[in-house]
Amino acid sequence: MDIVSTMGSGSLEREIDLKTLVSELEDHLGEFVDANFHSTAMVTVRLEKNGPAYTIYRTGTFQIRGAETEELLTESFRRFEKVLNEIGVDVSKTAFRQVTSVFMEDLDREINLEALAIALGLEHTEYEPEQFPGLIYRPPQYEVTLLVFASGKIIIGGTTDREHAKSAVQHLKEELTFADSSWR
């Protein structure tokens, strides 16, 4: 099972003037700073090309998305904290935690999603191929969401725990084995 992305969030415990922050980041780094203002209340910044995205809210809360491992997420947070400190933003009370990860598994087989939706129970699945090409499965005994595609690829979200994600996929594999035997 591969980790595709991980996301964390935190708080600077103070309000931030976003336009001033972006201007100071650009002046200080003197290099690539990509800022996208979604509104006056939030901005998404990349401090390096193809680097993680830092979404910062006026309230001082922030999210870091796009790190491919937990270690890279922590490194991204440390870099963010260091750069903010260098431009005079007090980071002494900054809180940060990993919130979720996205994992991917490939079953190396084709899957009949219509039949799978019935086998898993319509109360636990959503499958509307005209809206989205995958089956959305929320196994009742796991706090994860699985996006299952006809190609056999599965995206697992809603947890930071790789073992929990693996258990949910194992459960799906067992359901597939049972469904395969009953469809014959």
What pLDDT score does 179 carry? Answer: 65
What pLDDT score does 47 carry? Answer: 86
Residue that is last in its domain, among 99, 129, 161: 99
Tell me whether residue 90 is exposed, middle or buried, using C-beta atoms within 10 angstroms of its C-beta: 0 to 12, 13 to 18, 19 or more.
exposed
- pLDDT tens track for 95-128: 999 999 999 999 999 999 999 999 999 999 999 9
* Consecutive H or E run containing 55: strand 53-57
| Number of domains making up the chain | 2
Same domain, 21 and 95: yes
pLDDT at 183 over 60: no
pTM (two decimals)? 0.77
* Consecutive H or E run containing 168: helix 162-183
Greater model confidence, 92 or 131:
131
pLDDT at 93 over 50: yes
Distances (CA, A) of 116 to 7, 80, 110, 112, 158: 30, 44, 11, 6, 21
- The residue range of the domain holding 23 is 7-99
Q: Which residues pair with 26 in a beta bridge?
A: none
The alpha carbon torsion through 108, 132, 113, 122 (nearest 10 deg) reads 130
CB 127 within 8 A of CB 136: yes
Same domain, 169 and 118: yes
What pLDDT score does 51 carry? Answer: 86
What pLDDT score does 180 carry? Answer: 65
